[in-house]
Amino acid sequence: MTLRRMKKHVIVALFALVLFQSSVSVCDASATAKAKTVTPPPPASGYFVDHYKNNSSANMTVNSNPAIGVLTEFQKLWFPGSTWDSGVKRNSSVLDANIQKVADIAKHRTPLEENAAYFDDRRNQSYSVIDGLGPLTDIYRINAGATTTINSIPADATIKKYHDEGTNSGSTRSSLGSIVSLVNTLRGPYSSTNPAKGYFQYPRPFRWESNSILVPTLVPAINPDPAKDGGFPSGHTNAAYLSAFAMAYAVPERYQELLTRASELGHNRIVAGMHSPLDVMGGRVMATGLAAAILSDPANQSLKKAAYDEAHQKLLTQTGTAEDRFSDYNLNKNQYTQRLTYGFGRMNSIAKPMVVPKGAEVLLETRFPYLDKKQRRSVLATTGLPSGYPVLDDAEGWGRLDLFSAADGYGAFDKNVTVAMDASKGGFYALDRWRNDISGKGKLTKKGTGTLKLEGNNTYSGGTRIDQGTLEGGSETAFGRGDVSNNRGILKEDVSGKLIIGGDYKQSAKGILELNLSGKHDQFQIKGKAKIKGTLRLHFSDNYIPEDGSTIITYHKRNGSFSSIETTGLPSKYKVKAIYKTNRIQLKVAK
């Protein structure tokens, strides 16, 4: 008989309901959703990063174990019992939907999805996550000595359980041993989900339904003792994200791809019928806190640097040929974002401000090396999830972190932001792109010799200033709605069609405006006034030769003119010069 058909004990349920109602605070109507970068007050178990080593079977309470504490939002849905089958639903609609989602996925899964679910169940998680390295996957596995013994699905897998006897992420004695050590450290003795599973005692989906929702080849993998086989949180998901965070720290160039692979592995736990969406969400939340805690630990400082240096000296210098299953950015983003909440409605306060947990900024340390800690916290604060989703509203904010979006830069300029990039240091110091839609009232100031590209549908209104290096517009509204001042850097346009300056545009004698022209619709449109000096650099591409009188810049009013015009990409027999009109600049084209 399944749990769904078991009778509930009314007295226990009523008692649980009273406890639940007494623990839920009334929503503060005055609360706003504005993000906060200040560290929130510590929960009862203390800050996660300070007490992560208390995650052990010796600590089995909310106040003594931070891994249990960070997941206590689940208690708004589920009251743990003293045994695996005596817990009580506090929110039947959400928990029933949780199991129904598993049944629906099982009903529609394909043979290929079943195979992927089998491999992600039976293989070691750190080995599986290596796929996120894309073309470098095989090179990593060879040089790290990472192996698996689950290379195919055995014919008798429906009746026999197979174990992976491989080396997981590889050998610490290999040429990539520091990366392997970092993975092992994040997945170390303080990272188990067993204490949390034992505390919550929430049964797996097939114990609510039946074994029919399981992938057939995984039926032999069922633990025969349900008391030692809790569903919340998902251990596979926790392990996958811990591995991904470690590899992403060492190889931030594959940050989003590695996190997407961890997200995929977590989702495959649902496809397998082994876990529910809430289990997977809990596994991700727990892993996020653990990864930040372990990466923040001063004892691991030298290991972090060694892993990063090793990746950039021995791995990224290679040319890989492995398949990149995560080359589609938009697909990665859509799948990762959907799996953050799995379509659940917002059941709690929807006006709770976004807060950033203590130490969380370390998760972006190598992704944004040119930003300081406070700036990385701002990135996390302005890209977090809205409040209200089940499981995700923990006191410190771990559940609401959206690290895929955070890897795309700021979501808002709530205050003025200064970015200094030193191209001589290479990597993201030399070139980076922010793909988020940036809002807010703050101003962006670009310093340093590196290049920053803005690609979002931006609405920030504080203005833009370029003091050094290159600031590139990769979308029509890349520079928001304010004024743009180019003091001594390069403002580069790289968008098909028009690039709009929302306010005035001012360029000094040492500034450069670089326009890419591939057709007559490519224009630099200034909604306000133009005050121009310095250099106009025109790059013609796609064999485009402009017609005489073609408009390239428009404005409301103008003062000054460019001191020089440079062109590339135009056949040598053609010459162009600027013709200044009342509200536009046109090209005079001659052979």
Cβ proximity of 365 and 376 under 8 Å: yes
Cβ proximity of 166 and 124 under 8 Å: yes
What is the chain's Cα-based Rg? 27
Chain segment 290-299, per-residue pLDDT in tens: 999 999 999 9
Burial of 513 (0-12, 13-18, 19+ CB in 10 A): buried
Give me the residue label for tokens 């135009």.
570
Give the mean pLDDT of 514-537.
97
Give me the residue label for tokens 């972006």.
364
Chain segment 262-286, per-residue pLDDT in tens: 999 999 999 999 999 999 999 999 9
In this structure, what DSSP letter does residue 274 have? S
Picking from 464, 474, 579, 81, the residue whose alpha carbon sits closest to that of residue 589 is 579
Give the mean pLDDT of 507-520.
97
Cα separation, 68 vs 44, in Å, equals 11
Domains recognised in the chain with CATH numbers: 3-25+39-405 (1.20.144.10), 410-590 (no CATH)
In this structure, what DSSP letter does residue 176 have? T
Half-sphere exposure of 358 (CA within 13 A, CB side): 16
State how far the alpha carbon of 513 is from the alpha carbons of 451, 464, 534, in Å. Answer: 14, 14, 8
Q: Which two tokens stand for residue 100?
A: 């129904």
Kindly report the length of the chain: 591
Residue 16 has pLDDT above 70, yes or no: no
Cα separation, 37 vs 17, in Å, equals 35
Give the mean pLDDT of 179-207.
98
Q: What is the DSSP string of 13-49?
A: HHHHHHHHHHHPPPP-TT-----B-SPPPP-TT--HH
Specify the pLDDT at position 33. Answer: 54
Which region among 141-145, 257-261, 587-591 has the lowest average model confidence (pLDDT)? 587-591
State residue 76 phi and psi, 5-degree precision. Answer: -75, -15
Cβ proximity of 300 and 185 under 8 Å: yes
pLDDT category at 34 given cuts 50, 70, 90 is low
pTM over 0.85: yes
Specify the pLDDT at position 226. Answer: 95
Residue 23 has pLDDT above 90, yes or no: no
Specify the pLDDT at position 2. Answer: 58
Cα separation, 95 vs 88, in Å, equals 11
Specify the pLDDT at position 572. Answer: 86
Give the mean pLDDT of 32-41.
73
Within the chain, what is the greatest distance between any pair of CA atoms?
93
